[in-house]
Structures are given as structure tokens and as C-alpha cells.
Amino acid sequence: MKYVAPEEILLGYNQSGKPDTMQYIPILESLKLLLEHEDVLSELLSHKQSQDGIIRDYCDGYVYRRNPLFIRYPTALQIKYYYDDFTLNNQFRDRGRKYKISGHYFVLGNLDAKYRSKLDMMQLVMLCRSSHVKKYGAEQILQPLIRDIHILETEGITVQLDGNEYHFYGTISFVASDNLGAHFMAGMFENFSTVLRQCRFCNSTKHNMHNNYDEGTFQSRANKEIWNTQAEAGTDNMDFARVYGIKRHSPLNQLSYYHVSQGLPSDASHDLFEGVIPIILQTLFGRFVDQGHFTYAELSIGVARFKYVEVDKKNAIPILGSTAGTMKIKFTQAQTWCFLRLLPLMIGSLIPFGNGDWDFLLSDIFDLSHNYCSYFVLNF
């Protein structure tokens, strides 16, 4: 992969008169260099869609099959875009925010899943101080990217290899991010407690989300017209913005073949492994203790004495509390997945055969977690 020089983009000036800038690596140039590799080009020209009705990839899903660009050009480039913030020093110190950076990346979705998860297939698109992102907004920050993606959608790019000329169109297939990042890209409120409708997938209110568990009653937000109407209302009136949870139009909706209403997948890592699953585990441990299978102290000792294989040592579980009050499951995503995966080896012998709570954990929760892990690691 040849070097693509970044462009320094002037955003404005601070109070001292110094320029505020960001670095943008032209995505069209990165794509051209990627496609000049024979192995990458062969992946693009091969057929990836499932032939047996089983969804294995983005191109097997509803959104892909309804996208006019992908319908017209089956080899069109699928830009899987990723956005997240990171700090260059200790984020818990006072100066952590000063050195917080917003990183934007992409990976070519036309590649086979086993290649997309490799680091050298991920390409940097943009680096910008997080403070500048908040100061200037998504519209200005994403302007160079939107300009280039619009060219890719309408004019395409041409590459030459071995005397042959290939022309490709393409667009963003989806934007992967944590929930805060996704709401920022969508033009939604990032503070979930101040709005009536806080979910980007449905129009459910906070009250219904806490009291109604029938997803069939929730109206989906995966509709461009409804989303645009709510965004228009929120742009003109802050009261409407708090009702709908959308405070502005997303600049990404300027693209012809991408819309945030159908292009911001869920953040499985945070939702499951730092949200739902720790709560379920803590609840089930309480039930097992009440049923007399073990005590919190015995559980803590058993987990602490577990011998990890080399690949799992870096995600070893911290010492658990020995009482109900101190038993808190607050791990990293990788630690939670490791804990859930190894839990049958740690305490399985203590649970009698046929225990309904244990069967629920082993079947429903474990399968759900495994499927989400496999799907997001391979495809996103």
C-alpha cells in the first residue's frame, strides 16, 4: 500500500487567532491504491451474495438489496465507515480532554469477511480534535468526505491493472460507532436523558421502553421520509427536537445512496457486554446463591483460582466481591465475553442438571452473545 498524504483542512480560528485544523486522507486516493492490488480487485469481482437464503453478510440483507446503486452495479464499492474517539494520554487526568482525538476509518466491505477483520485492511480517513468536532459540528467536519463520496456515487473511479481498465461506483454502506458516536452522526441528542424518544431504531418513548417489552408495538424509524420530517421539525424548533430526539439533519443524508435511518447498526459490544449481559449474570448469580448451589465467597474463590490458557490471560476476570453487596460485574467488553465463555468451566459442576436458569444462560444468552460476536467481528 503506497502512502497517501493527508490534507490539512482549515476549520476556523480560536480566540488567540491560531488556526483550528484537521487532517483528511483523501478516501478516493486510498480506494484507487487498494484496487490496484490484484488480490483486492479479484475479491471485488467475485460474487458474495448468499445463494441459500441465509444472511451471512451485509449484501444478503434488506438494505443492500433495496439500494439502487448496488442493484445497478453489483460490484459497487461498499464503504464500511467507522468513527470513534480516543485519548493520547491518561484520560482520567485533567488534560485528558485536551488530547482527545476523533478518528475516522473505513474498510472495503466487498472483501471477504476473513480479510475485513485484519488491521491492514482498515484505512484511516480523518483525524480531528474532539473539541473541534463539537465546536464546528458534523456538517463542516464531514464536508471533505461527503464531497468525495458524492463523486464516487456519481462519477466513480477508474483503476488500471495489467493493461485492463476497471470503473467502479460506490457509497457508504453503513457507519459503525458506539451509541454516542452514532447519535452524533445522525444529528440526534447524545444525552439520552433529556429527550422523549431516545432510540435511533424506533419511535418508542422512554416510558414505553421501560414498561413495554413487545417490540411489535414499537414503530420503526427505518423510514427516510419519517426521519427527514422529524429532523426538519427538530431543526426549526427545539421543543420538537426534544420530542423526536433529532435536533438537526445529518450531513450524511446529503448522499444519494445512504441514509442514517437505515445505516447506523447497533453497538453490540457496549449494549451486550457492558450492558445487558452483566445485569443478567448478576441476577442469575443471586438466584443460584438463593437456591443454595454456592455462596458469593465460593464463586469469587472459584473464579480467582481458574487457570486461563495463554490466549485468555490478558482478559482474566478481576477479583469478584464475596458478598451480595460487593459482587459487581463491571468488566471490559473482552473480559465479559471471556467470563461468559468460560463460566461453564468455572461453576458448571456446582449447578444441578436441569436447572432452568442455567439452561437459559447456556442456550439463549450464550448463543446470542456468540452470534453477535461472530457477526460483528467478521462483518463490521
Question: Under a CB-based contact definition with an 8 Å cutoff, are residues 58 and 64 in contact?
Answer: yes
Q: What is the mean pLDDT of residues 309-316?
A: 89
Q: Note the helical H segments in the chain.
A: 27-35, 38-45, 62-65, 68-72, 113-116, 130-141, 143-154, 179-186, 206-211, 224-236, 238-244, 268-271, 277-290, 296-304, 333-347, 356-360, 366-379
Most confident of 148-152, 162-166, 174-178: 148-152
Please state the pTM of the whole predicted model: 0.82
Output the nine-digit C-alpha cell for 264.
447506523
DSSP letter for each residue of 324-335: TTT------HHH
More confident residue, 130 or 204: 130
Q: Locate cell 438489496: which residue?
A: 65
Dihedral (CA of 353, 358, 359, 362) sign? negative
Lowest mean pLDDT among 152-156, 176-180, 186-190, 324-328: 324-328
Q: Which residue has the cell 491518561?
A: 90
Structure confidence by residue, pLDDT tens digits, 58-116: 888 889 999 999 999 989 999 999 999 988 876 566 555 678 899 999 999 998 888 88
Query: What local confidence, expressed as pLDDT, does residue 105 receive?
Result: 95
The pLDDT-based confidence of 376 (bands split at 50, 70, 90) is very low
The per-residue pLDDT for 378 is 38
Identify the CA nearest to 145 among candidates 128, 122, 166: 128
Q: Assign 256 to helix, strand or coil.
A: coil
- The answer, yes or no, to whether residue 270 has pLDDT greater than 90, is no
Contact call for residues 29 and 48 (beta carbons, < 8 A): no
% of the chain with per-residue pLDDT over 90: 39
- Domain locations in the chain? 7-179, 188-249, 270-379
Cell of 253: 443524508
Phi–psi pair at 128, nearest 5 degrees: -150, 140
Mean confidence (pLDDT) of the chain: 86
Is the alpha carbon torsion for 112, 26, 147, 250 positive or negative?
A: positive
**Which pLDDT belongs to residue 375?**
44
Split at pLDDT 50, 70, 90, the class of 57 is confident
CA distance 280 to 285: 9
Residues recorded for the chain: 380
Angle between helices 277-290 and 296-304 (to 10 degrees): 120
Q: Is the pLDDT of residue 129 over 60?
A: yes
Position 306 pLDDT exceeds 70:
yes
